[in-house]
């Protein structure tokens, strides 16, 4: 009798154990808790709101391109100082030097016999000379000469380099301008560079005018 009770008890105990094992395995199948499924869940902050576009640790190590900021275009202010207007009533013309010439040139004017010594047959000669920084020398930036029409026609027909270029005619007189063929100064020196700049700023058609 006792032997039968032991067998029955063993069978019951085995059934309970098997039942427990089956229940545990069933719960794992229905509610997996793997790392893969966890990482697929949306990240949330401590207040329960979803985090949007939050960088991971790997992304933080990458250099993010900075946003391009368009800078407003700024106009460069131009020098507004007044230029010195040169007028020569005897020769009947005026010349307005570029603003950049201010303080960098001097004027030498000649008439009659003195003009003829500078340029044969000229009635008037006006030289606008660049003054070097040390004040020891000067070089001509521009020369304006006045000839009679007859003399200019003769000079223009002669062989050799031209005296200059005609810019205007008035009352049987011809106005001629002459500029240097090259920089007479060392182009790498301060004076040479400024000479080139001043010459480049010259626009004879805008600067020259006959007096009314």
Global confidence as pTM = 0.61
**pLDDT > 60? residue 79:** no
Query: Per-residue pLDDT averaged across 13-23, rounded?
Result: 56
Residue 108 has pLDDT above 90, yes or no: yes
121 within 8 A of 147, measured Cβ to Cβ: yes
Q: Is 18 helix (H, G, I), strand (E, B) or coil?
A: helix
Exposure on the CB side of residue 100, measured as CA atoms within 13 A: 12
User: pLDDT digits over 126-177, tens only?
Assistant: 999 999 999 888 999 999 999 999 999 999 999 888 899 999 999 999 999 9
Element (H, E) at 4: helix 2-30
**pLDDT tops 60 at residue 49:** no
Closest-CA residue to 140 (of 111, 98, 110, 183)? 183
3-state SS, one letter per residue, for 153-192: HHHHHCCCCCCCEEEEEECCEEEEEECCCCCCCCCCCHHH
């Amino acid at each position: 009798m006792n032997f039968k009770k032991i067998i029955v008890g063993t069978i019951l105990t085995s059934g309970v154990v098997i039942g427990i094992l089956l229940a545990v395995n069933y719960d794992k199948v229905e509610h997996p808790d793997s790392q893969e499924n966890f990482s697929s869940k949306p990240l949330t902050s401590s207040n329960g709101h979803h985090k949007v576009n939050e960088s991971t640790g790997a992304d933080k190590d990458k250099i993010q391109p900075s946003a391009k900021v368009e800078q407003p275009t700024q106009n460069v202010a131009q020098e507004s100082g007044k230029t010195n207007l040169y007028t020569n009533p005897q020769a009947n013309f005026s010349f307005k030097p570029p603003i950049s010439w201010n303080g960098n040139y001097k004027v030498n004017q000649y008439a009659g016999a003195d003009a003829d010594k500078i340029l044969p047959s000229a009635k008037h000669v006006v030289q606008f000379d660049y003054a070097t920084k040390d004040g020891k020398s000067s070089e001509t930036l521009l020369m304006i000469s006045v000839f009679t029409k007859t003399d200019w026609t003769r000079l223009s027909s002669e062989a050799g380099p031209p005296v200059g270029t005609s810019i205007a005619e008035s009352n049987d007189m011809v106005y001629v301008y002459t500029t240097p063929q090259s920089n007479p100064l060392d182009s790498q020196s301060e004076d040479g560079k400024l000479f080139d700049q001043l010459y480049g700023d010259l626009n004879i058609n805008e600067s020259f005018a006959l007096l009314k």
